[in-house]
Amino acid sequence: MCMYVFVKERVESRSFIPEEKIFELLEKTKNPDPARVREIIQKSLDKNRLEPEETATLLNVEDPELLEEIFEAARTLKERIYGNRIVLFAPLYIGNDCINDCVYCGFRVSNKVVERRTLTEEQLKEEVKALVSQGHKRLIVVYGEHPNYSPEFIARTIDIVYNTKYGNGEIRRVNVNAAPQTIEGYKIIKSVGIGTFQIFQETYHRETYLKLHPRGPKSNYNWRLYGLDRAMMAGIDDVGIGALFGLYDWKFEVMGLLYHTIHLEERFGVGPHTISFPRIKPAINTPYSQKPEHVVSDEDFKKLVAIIRLSVPYTGMILTAREPAKLRDEVIKLGVSQIDAGSRIGIGAYSHKEDDEDRKRQFTLEDPRPLDQVMRSLLKEGFVPSFCTACYRAGRTGEHFMEFAIPGFVKNFCTPNALFTLQEYLCDYATEETRKVGEEVIERELQKMNPKIRERVREGLEKIKRGERDVRF
C-alpha cells in the first residue's frame, strides 16, 4: 500500500502536457502543404487517431478550400462511426456551494451576489419529475466543490435520481460533473451505477491555470489533471475531458485535449468517452467572464470542433446550450454526437422556472429552446435524436465500447436503439407536429436497414406503441 501511494504521488507530480513541445509543433507546422493536409484527413477518415504533429498541422490551415475539406471530412467521419443520431441529455445542478475562487465563474466563493442553494431530497425529486415529464432519460448532475458535496452525498443524490419514476418515464443514465476525488471517493460514487465522470481541466496552460484559480483545492493543477486517472483506477470505465475555450489560446487547448487523450490511452488502454469544448459565457458579477482574454470567434469555434472530431475519431463530442441556436445548428453538422436541450442551470429551475435567473446560475445559456423544439429541428435536418442508454446497460463501456466504436460498428447497435427511444418520445411527450416528422424519420431509417434487422426493429417499435418501455436491440 505504501509503495502504491508513493508511485501514484510520484506520477502525479509531473504534468503530461508538454507545453514547449506544443508551441514548437504549432510553430513548425505553419503554412502547411495542402498535400500533407489531405494525407492527414485521409488518415482520420480511416478511423485512426491523429498524432500531435498532425493535429497541429490541421490547426494551422487557413486556406478556405482546405478548411472546407476539413469540415466535410468531419461530417463524413461522424456519420461513418456514429451514424446520423444525436444523443440528448440535460444538466441538473444539485448545488452551487463552492470553496474555489475561479475568476471566470459565477459560483466562485468570493461572489457575494450569487444565491447559494443545495437541493433537498424532495426538491431533487421534483426536478427529476420535471425533467422526465419533458422526455429526458439522460442527465449530467453538477455540483460545486464543497465539503458538503462528499462522495457519499453525490452517491445518495444519484441514487434518488435513478429511483424517481414519473409516468412512463425515468432517468436511465446519470453522468457526473464534480470535483476530482480520491480513488476511494470515486469507488463510492461508482457504486450507484454512474455513467461518465466528467472533469474539465478548464485550461491546459499551467501559468494561465494558476492565475485563474488563485484559491481553493482547484488551484492544484496536477491534482485536477490526474483526476480522471484516479477515476479509472477506481474502476470507472467512461470518463469525459474538456477545456473552457476563451481562457487561453484555442489552438493550445485543442493540443492539450489531444495529449490528455493520448495519456489515457497509453496508461489505461482507452481514451476519453467524451470531449467537451464549451466557450466561456458571461456570469453575474464576474468581470472576467464579460471580457475573456482569448475570445474564440464563431469561425474558429467551427474549426476547432471539426479538428477535434478528426483528431479523435471514436470519441463522443458534446456541444452545449451555451451556444446560440443558429450556431448550434451549424456546429452539430461538424462531428458533434451529443447535445443538451431544454436546459436550465438555476438550482431548482426545472420545477420552478422563476429560479432560472442570473443570481442562481453559473453562467448564461444562449439556446433556450424547449426539448420538443430541438427534437423537431434535429428531425427536420435529417438527424435521429436519441436518448439511448443501451450500450451502458449492456456493458458496452470503456475499452469494450471502443472495440465497437473504433471500427465504426457502434452505429449498428445505436441506430436501432436510437429509434426505440425516439419512438418512446413520440408516444409519450411529443407535440403533434414533432410526432409527424418523427414517424417519417423512423420509416426512412427502417428502409436503410437490411431486411432481418428491419423486421426486428419493427417488432420493437410495435411493442413500444402497445405500451412497453425500455425496449433494447
Domains by residue range for the chain, with CATH: 1-473 (3.20.20.70)
pLDDT at 1: 39
Among 200, 258, 277, 217, smallest CA distance to 16 is for: 258
Model pLDDT for residues 164-175, shown as the tens digit of each residue: 999 999 999 999
Q: Helix/strand/coil (H, E, C) string of 89-120?
A: EEEEEEECCCCCCCCCCCCCCCCCCCCCCECC
pLDDT at 256: 98
Mark residue 342 as left, alpha or beta (left: phi above 0; alpha: psi -120 to 50; beta: remaining).
left
DSSP code at position 169: B
pLDDT at 11: 60
3-state percent breakdown (helix, strand, coil) of the chain, nearest 5? 50, 10, 40
pLDDT at 4: 41
pLDDT at 133: 97
Q: Answer for the pair 472, 423: CB distance below 8 angstroms, yes or no.
A: no
DSSP code at position 50: P
Q: Which three cell numbers stand for residue 167?
A: 409516468
Name residues whose C-beta falls within 8 Å of residue 56's C-beta, 6 or more positions apart in sequence: 22, 25, 26, 28, 29, 251, 255
- Low-confidence residues of the chain, pLDDT below 50? 1-7, 9
pLDDT at 198: 98
